[in-house]
Amino acid sequence: MSTITTKDGTQIYYKDWGTGLTVILSHGWPLNADSWEIQALFLASHSYRVITHDRRGHGRSSQPWNGNEMDTYAEDLATLIETLDLNGITLIGFSTGGGEVARYIGRHGTARVAKAGLISSVPPLMLKTESNPDGLPIEVFDNLRAGSLGDRSQLYKDLASGPFFGFNRPGAKVSQGIIDSFWFQGLQSGHKNALDCIKAFSETDFTEDLKRFDVPTLIIHGDDDQIVPIKAAGLASAKIVKNARLEVYEGAPHGLTNTHADRLNADLLSFLKG
Tens digit of pLDDT for each residue in 98-137? Answer: 999 999 999 999 999 999 999 999 999 999 999 999 999 9
Using CB atoms within 10 Å of the CB of residue 51, give its burial: 0 to 12 exposed, 13 to 18 middle, 19+ buried: buried
Alpha-carbon distance of 178 to 103, in angstroms, equals 29
Please give the model's pTM, rounded to 2 decimal places: 0.97
On whether the CB atoms of residues 120 and 52 are closer than 8 A, the answer is: no
Class (C level, CATH) for 3-273: alpha beta
Would you say residue 189 has pLDDT above 90? yes
pLDDT for 18? 98
On whether the CB atoms of residues 55 and 28 are closer than 8 A, the answer is: no
Q: How far is CA 232 from CA 5, 11, 156, 193, 237, in A?
A: 35, 34, 24, 25, 8
Pairing, β 217-222 against β 48-53:
unpaired
Is 58 marked active-site?
no
The active-site residue, picked from 27, 53, 254, 267, is 254
Would you say residue 1 has pLDDT above 90? no
Is 254 marked active-site?
yes
Query: Where are the domains positioned within the chain?
Result: 3-273
Check whether the bond before 30 is cis (ω within 30° of 0).
yes
On whether the CB atoms of residues 220 and 249 are closer than 8 A, the answer is: yes
User: Phi then psi for 68, rounded to 5 degrees?
Assistant: -90, 60
Positive or negative, the Cα torsion across 102, 32, 201, 160? positive
Local structure of 125: helix, strand or coil: coil
| For the chain, percent of residues with pLDDT exceeding 90 | 100
The active-site residue, picked from 76, 209, 225, 267, is 225
The active-site residue, picked from 35, 61, 95, 148, is 95
DSSP single-letter state for residue 132: B
Is 95 marked active-site?
yes
